[in-house]
Amino acid sequence: MATIKERSKAIRAVHDTMDVLSGKWKIAIITSLSFGEKRYSEILKEVEGISGKMLTRELKDMEMNLLIKREVLNAQPVTVQYSLTKYSENLLPIICNLRDWGTEHRKKIIGK
Amino acid sequence: MATIKERSKAIRAVHDTMDVLSGKWKIAIITSLSFGEKRYSEILKEVEGISGKMLTRELKDMEMNLLIKREVLNAQPVTVQYSLTKYSENLLPIICNLRDWGTEHRKKIIGK
């Protein structure tokens, strides 16, 4: 059986992931980019309700956390494109599990 | 490709699960109970740093969300025992995935 130290390390790791996914917008941005790389304006349109200022801040934070890649395309006018890193693609199965459990939970709690 | 409506429903479901798991203590309590049913005093001892008042509130909330079962054992003195419901046991693989991703993330971010 896991020692108390191992258990608290495990719980801290879970909270680390929750912190990365926390907030109203990160999961929506990851979901949007999971369908392929996108320009800033495309993400802004697709993620319902997010402001330009908020999207800029979230993209910077996600880039720092190595969740997304930012590429400047050699085009006229200059275009900036965002995509998920290999690393954040590992989050997609977790996000799907969270979605499935949440869907069941809503039925169970609202259906009771 | 998922419609915008389907996508926002999926994102809402993910947020529902995150809400259930949110806060400092729920995951620690679920992890503690994942090793078997426990009495209040045992949980209080195992979940580092939680106060009695906070544990009482979290257990009530988790019972309402059908995550745990509360049983009054026919013993002298009367004993109350908590255990995970079948339903919340479905969360354990998700919590393990969150733990594994968080462990890698910490290495990657701190290791850089």
Domain assignment present for residue A64? The answer is yes
With CA atoms as reference, the chain B residue closest to A67 would be: B105
Dihedral of the alpha carbons of B29, B35, B41, B47, in degrees to the nearest 10: -40
Domain assignment present for residue A6? The answer is no
Across the interface, do B97 and A97 touch by the CB < 8 Å criterion? yes
Residue A28 near residue A45, CB atoms below 8 Å = no
Domain residues for the domain of A66 are: 24-111
Query: pLDDT for A29-88, tens place per residue?
Result: 998 898 899 999 999 998 888 999 999 999 999 999 899 999 998 888 888 999 999 888
**Closest CA of chain A from B79, distance in Å:** 24
Whether pLDDT at A1 is above 70: no
Percent of chain B at pLDDT > 90 equals 38
Q: What is the mean pLDDT of chain B?
A: 87
A8 to chain B: which residues are within 8 Å by CB? 28, 48
Whether B35 and chain A come into contact, CB under 8 Å, resolves to: yes
Q: Is the peptide bond before B77 cis (omega within 30 degrees of 0)?
A: yes
CA pair distance A40, B30, nearest whole angstrom: 39
Query: pLDDT for B41-83, tens place per residue?
Result: 999 998 888 999 999 999 999 999 899 999 998 888 888 999 9
Residue B51 near residue B32, CB atoms below 8 Å = no
A89 to chain B: which residues are within 8 Å by CB? none
Residue A102 maps to which CATH number?
1.10.10.10
Whether A75 and chain B come into contact, CB under 8 Å, resolves to: no
Which of B1, B99, B109 is closest, CB to CB, to A14?
A: B99
ipTM of the complex as predicted: 0.77
pLDDT at B74: 85
Across the interface, do A10 and B31 touch by the CB < 8 Å criterion? yes
pLDDT at B2: 65
Domain assignment present for residue A14? The answer is no
Is residue B85 classed as helix, strand or coil in its secondary structure?
coil
Taking CA atoms, B90 is separated from A33, A105, B87, in Å, by 27, 11, 6
Domain assignment present for residue A82? The answer is yes
Count of domains in chain A? 1
Q: What is the mean pLDDT of residues B15-20?
A: 85
A13 to chain B: which residues are within 8 Å by CB? 98-103, 106
> Sign of torsion, CA B99 A58 A105 A94?
negative
CA pair distance B65, B32, nearest whole angstrom: 18
Other C-beta atoms closer than 10 Å to the C-beta of A31 total 21
- Regarding predicted confidence, which is higher, A68 or A106? A68
Domain assignment present for residue A11? The answer is no
Which of A28, A102, A108 is closest, CB to CB, to B17?
A: A102
E strands within B25-97?
Answer: 38-39, 68-73, 79-84
Across the interface, do A101 and B90 touch by the CB < 8 Å criterion? yes
How do A79-84 and A68-73 pair as beta strands? Answer: antiparallel
